[in-house]
Amino acid sequence: MSQTTLTQETALEALKKVKYPGLSRDIVSFGFVQDLNVGGGNVSFRLSLTSGTPGVAEQLQAECEAALRALPGVSSVTIKVEVKGPQPVTAAAPPQKDLLNGTRFIVAVASGKGGVGKSTVAANLALSLTRLGYRVGLMDSDIYGPSQQMMMGIQEKPFLNEDEKIMPIARFGVNVMSIGFLMDVDTPVIWRGPMVYKAVEQLLGDVAWGQQDFLIVDLPPGTGDAQLTLTQKVQLSGAVIVTTPQDVALIDARKGLAMFRQVNVPVLGIIENMSFYECPKCHHKEHIFKSGGGQKTADLLGVPFLGGIPIDPQVALSGDAGMPIVAANPSSVVTEAFMNLARGVAKTVGA
Ligand SMILES: Nc1ncnc2c1ncn2[C@@H]1O[C@H](COP(=O)(O)OP(=O)(O)O)[C@@H](O)[C@H]1O
Ligand SMILES: [Mg+2]
């Protein structure tokens, strides 16, 4: 640090180095630091947290204190910790105040890494839920690679209604809104925390979602700003974690699980995609990678196992062609697996 005088700015700069545990974003940008006061070597502020996850407040308090004490001229640090947000939830809770107040259940589809079939699962889960008679929205918040426009066969851009809200685009009975509508497909975007925050906020608040039973959210892979923004803005009913049978994928799934636990979002269960190959002729099930990984992880972490989705070239072909398999081949083995997943999710949230 080049400055030697202690000011509000230098204190704030130091606090910006403190990240929320497990996430890439700092506590200042989250707005957790309030009423910062600097005077005569004394620094005081309120650490106003939105989640009462055990251990987090203590850890942040210690890190803030260390960061401030490392500054020249600091003689005392006073931190008042308060937790204002949702307390740990165990069952489905209603969405927050005015955001998405017409939505009964918000379910995030997450994965530790990309390419495991998260978007495929999100799209087909949404379609399966409509087949069960629910009103369903699908929100693609994958900043790194939004794919619901392609998977749901959407070429057009949405319109605004008379209230200046974005109208989701209806496909296969599902109302679709994508972060891809807000960005230019050919220009790679380098997303910084506040941009992600704004974009996710817009997808939640500026869209005419209307009355719906489910909003399925296709999250970016990993544990980042979009995930945290979502958990801060609305009360998620829970997250479904998609994994594949390989061990490496399971390690990532565990990380995702830990993140949701930390922000008090119930994990509804683990789903193993590309789980096995079922021969269309003899119905023999071949576990191409290895079997039982998803179930084992679920058992180990004490969350439900929501089942396996077979690997089937038709899934990829129909996804690329803009018609998810549940619509393209309603009587296939894969569709049945997605219907089972939908029943499991509906049952778990109490729909
Ligand atoms: N069960 C499956 N069988 C065959 N291909 C699949 C299956 N699930 C996903 N895929 C294909 O794998 C690729 C990655 O899936 P995608 O849903 O885009 O993953 P993610 O959203 O996790 O990055 C896509 O080409 C998709 O069509
Ligand atoms: Mg995807």
pLDDT of 198 reads: 86
Residues 129 and 12 in one domain: no
Sequence-distant contacts of 58-65: CB under 8 A, at least 24 apart: 59/21, 60/18, 60/20, 60/21, 60/27, 60/32, 63/18, 64/15, 64/18, 64/27
Least distant ligand from the CA of 120:
1
Sequence-ordered list of residues with C-beta below 8 angstroms from that of 167, at least 6 positions apart, any chain: 158, 159, 160, 161, 207, 208
Residue 192 within any structural domain of the chain: yes
User: Do 160 and 79 belong together in one domain?
Assistant: no
- Residue 14 alpha carbon to ligand 1 centre in Å: 42
CATH value at residue 303? 3.40.50.300
**The ligand 1 atom nearest the CA atom of 320:** 27
| Percent share of the chain, pLDDT over 70 | 90
For ligand 2, a single-atom ion, the residues with CB < 5 A are 118-119, 147
Name the domain boundary from 83, 116, 150.
83
pLDDT tens digits for range 81-103: 988 754 443 333 444 446 888 99
Nearest alpha carbon, ligand 1 atom 2: 311
Domain presence at residue 91:
no
Listed range (46-55, 93-102, 112-121, 166-175) with the worst mean pLDDT: 93-102
One domain, residues 300 and 164: yes
Residues with CB under 6 A from ligand 1: 111, 114-120, 147, 273-274, 309, 311-312, 315-316, 319
The mean pLDDT value of the chain amounts to 86
CATH of the domain at 52: 3.30.300.130
Amino acid 91: pLDDT: 36
Compute the distance from residue 138 Cα to the ligand 2 centre, in Å: 13
Instruction: Starting from the CA of residue 273, give the closest ligand.
Output: 1
**Does residue 119 sit within a domain?**
yes
Among 52, 83, 114, the domain boundary falls at 83
> Is 264 found in the same domain as 319?
yes
SS3 content of the chain, % helix, strand, coil (to 5): 35, 20, 45
Determine the average pLDDT of the residues in 275-291: 76
Give exposure, 300-319, as e/b (b: 16+ Cβ within 10 Å).
ebebbbbbbbbbbeebeebb
Nearest atom in ligand 1 to the alpha carbon of residue 313 is 4
Q: Which of 53, 83, 113 finishes a domain? A: 83
Nearest CA to ligand 1 atom 15: 117
The closest-lying atom of ligand 1 relative to the alpha carbon of residue 317 is 27
State pLDDT tens for residues 191-211.
Answer: 777 888 888 888 999 999 999
DSSP designation for 160 = B
Q: Give the closest residue (by CA) to ligand 1 atom 8.
A: 117
Residue 37 DSSP class: E
Q: Average pLDDT of 16-31?
A: 80
What is the whole-number distance in angstroms between the Cα of residue 147 and the centre of ligand 1? 10
Q: Give domain status of residue 52, yes or no.
A: yes
Q: Which atom of ligand 1 is nearest to the CA of 121?
A: 17
Q: Which domain holds residue 345?
A: 103-349
* Alpha-carbon gap, residue 59 to 76, rounded angstroms: 18
Query: Best mutation site among 111, 116, 119, 120 for ligand 1, i.e. most ligand atoms within 8 A of its Cβ?
Result: 120
Which numbered ligand comes closest to the C-alpha of 313? 1
pLDDT at 112: 83
Quick one: which atom of ligand 1 is closest to the CA of 311? 3
Question: Has residue 23 been placed in a domain?
Answer: yes
Co-location of 63 and 107 in the same domain: no
In a domain, 334, yes or no: yes
246 in the same domain as 139: yes
Ligand nearest to the CA of 151: 1
Residue 145 CA, closest ligand 1 atom number: 23
Neighbours of 247 (CB within 10 A): 12
Structure tokens at 320: 């690329």
291 compared with 286, residue with greater pLDDT: 286
Distance CA(118)–CA(76), nearest Å, equals 48
Residues 70 and 111 in one domain: no
Query: Does residue 94 form part of some domain?
Result: no
Q: Residue 79 pairs with which residues in a beta bridge?
A: 45
Please indicate, yes or no, whether residues 134 and 272 belong to a single structural domain of this protein: yes
CB 303 within 8 A of CB 269: yes
Q: Which-ligand-closest: CA of 146?
A: 2
Same domain as 115, residue 227: yes
Of 167-181, 294-308, 312-326, 337-351, minimum mean pLDDT range: 294-308
Looking at the structure, tell me whether residues 191 and 292 fall in a common domain: yes
How far away, in angstroms, is 133 Cα from ligand 1 center?
Answer: 26
* Ligand 1, atom 23: closest residue by C-alpha: 115
Q: pLDDT tens digits for 31-72? A: 788 889 999 899 999 998 876 677 888 899 999 999 999 999
Domain count, the chain: 2
Q: Summarize the confidence of residues 118-147 as an average pLDDT.
A: 95
How much is the average pLDDT of 309-328? Answer: 96
Structural Rg of the chain based on CA atoms: 22
Q: Does 3 reside within a domain?
A: no
Residues 181 and 111 in one domain: yes
Q: What is the Cα–Cα distance from 296 to 303, expressed in whole angstroms?
A: 10
